[in-house]
Amino acid sequence: MKQHRLEFVEPGRVAIHVGPAPQPTADQVLVETQLSAISPGTEMLVYRGQWPQDVTVDATFEALTGTFAYPLTYGYCTVGRVIATGSAVTADWRGRRVFAFHPHEDLFCAHPSTLHPIPDDLDDETALFLPNMETAVNLLLDGCPLIGEQVVVIGQGIVGLLTTALLARFPLASLTALESHPLRRAASIRLGAGACHDPATPDLLARLGAIPGQGGQADLVYELSGNPSGLNTALTLTRPTGRVVVGSWYGSKKVALDLGSVFHRGRLTLISSQVSTLAPALSGRWQTSRRLDTAWEMLRQVAPKACITHRFPLAEAARAYALIDRSPGETIQVIFEHQSASKR
């Protein structure tokens, strides 16, 4: 068997590296990948070379170490099956379907403690959405939506859509989304948004109740667009003493904020939300294991695999990234279908 691994080589270019199949050590298992998903937010920053300097890849995952530098293997949405076990690993791991926070590779070794067995009632495609659903759960934990509040979600990429789907389960006064692309606006309504507007619509902010210098009507706004300009829009839409949760990672893109009007006098709260950690105020009651269990349950309820718009073999990875880069409005979730390494 040979291992096929996706590498980000330079801005705008990926390649498939072919090498010998890895062999598990005594305390590892060998996983054969069935499917992996592109995270269109973070991975496109990597694809475009827009990461900030001297930032670690992600120290919370065993497979993602070091700092951002080309060539780089990256990704964290992988579903596979254990096909071999090391001598110190119990035999019941063999044959298990597992989720791994792991880059795009058709074969990889991992310690069992880093793998998440997929519940029997969930299929592989649904399990691919685990990281983004866990992010959406974390966004709600950080934003603390309350009964009767008016909530806005800016950006309906996959994280924005899943966040909207979870918010739709709350007894809110209103749930409004902003999204440039018609395909995603339609998905937003399907997943529970009361309305989803094109942010380029003339006089949209005024129609949503925002008055220049005085603020808007939203109690809670999520900025999930990945576009730095979205944060000023979020501040404009928020009522005095309201909250803005920033879930976007802008990478090296700079943000120029207007903090001289409604933010200053309105005592708005900016909340940074990132899934690597839990809000300190929740640490006595919530652990990452509880959050992960909640994400599995939300996958059952939301059933997000209808958001998969494109499927590519790993060998055509360059086409997949170019599509997302050049025609984002045509995509929501793009996945790789991996050829069985054991049958090649």
* Averaged pLDDT of the chain: 92
Q: Where are the domains of the chain?
A: 2-128+305-343, 131-280
Average pLDDT of the segment spanning 57-79: 75
- Cα–Cα separations (whole angstroms), residue 197 to 140, 207, 219, 278, 312: 22, 11, 18, 31, 30
CB neighbour class for 324 (10 Å; exposed up to 12, middle 13-18, buried from 19): middle
User: What's the confidence (pLDDT) of residue 300?
Assistant: 98
User: What's the confidence (pLDDT) of residue 251?
Assistant: 79
Average pLDDT of the segment spanning 234-238: 94
| pLDDT grade for 53, boundaries at 50, 70 and 90 | low
Average pLDDT of the segment spanning 171-176: 98
* Distance from C-alpha of 245 to C-alpha of 336, rounded to nearest angstrom: 31
Residue 58 scores a pLDDT above 70: no
Q: Which two tokens stand for residue 180?
A: 């440039």
Q: Which two tokens stand for residue 136?
A: 């959406």
Q: What is the pLDDT of residues 81-105, one digit of tens each?
A: 999 999 999 999 999 999 999 999 9
User: What's the confidence (pLDDT) of residue 212?
Assistant: 78
Average pLDDT of the segment spanning 29-36: 98
Q: What is the pLDDT of residues 277-306, one digit of tens each?
A: 999 999 899 999 999 999 999 999 999 999
Yes or no: say if 155 and 325 are a contact pair by the CB < 8 Å rule. no
Of all residues in the chain, the percent with pLDDT exceeding 70 is 94
For 2-128+305-343, give the CATH class. Answer: alpha beta
Question: pLDDT: is 341 or 189 the higher one?
Answer: 189
- Cα–Cα separations (whole angstroms), residue 122 to 99, 221, 282, 310: 11, 31, 28, 20
Residue 77 scores a pLDDT above 60: yes
Which amino acid, 324?
I
Yes or no: say if 48 and 110 are a contact pair by the CB < 8 Å rule. no
Q: What is the pLDDT of residues 123-145, one digit of tens each?
A: 999 999 999 999 999 999 999 99
User: What's the confidence (pLDDT) of residue 137?
Assistant: 98
Give CA 53 to chain center in angstroms.
21
Closest CA to 239 of 261, 264, 220, 260: 220
User: What's the confidence (pLDDT) of residue 64?
Assistant: 58
CATH of region 131-280: 3.40.50.720
User: What's the confidence (pLDDT) of residue 84?
Assistant: 97
**CA atoms in the 13 A half-sphere facing the CB of 206:** 4
* Distance from C-alpha of 234 to C-alpha of 176, rounded to nearest angstrom: 12
User: What's the confidence (pLDDT) of residue 57?
Assistant: 60
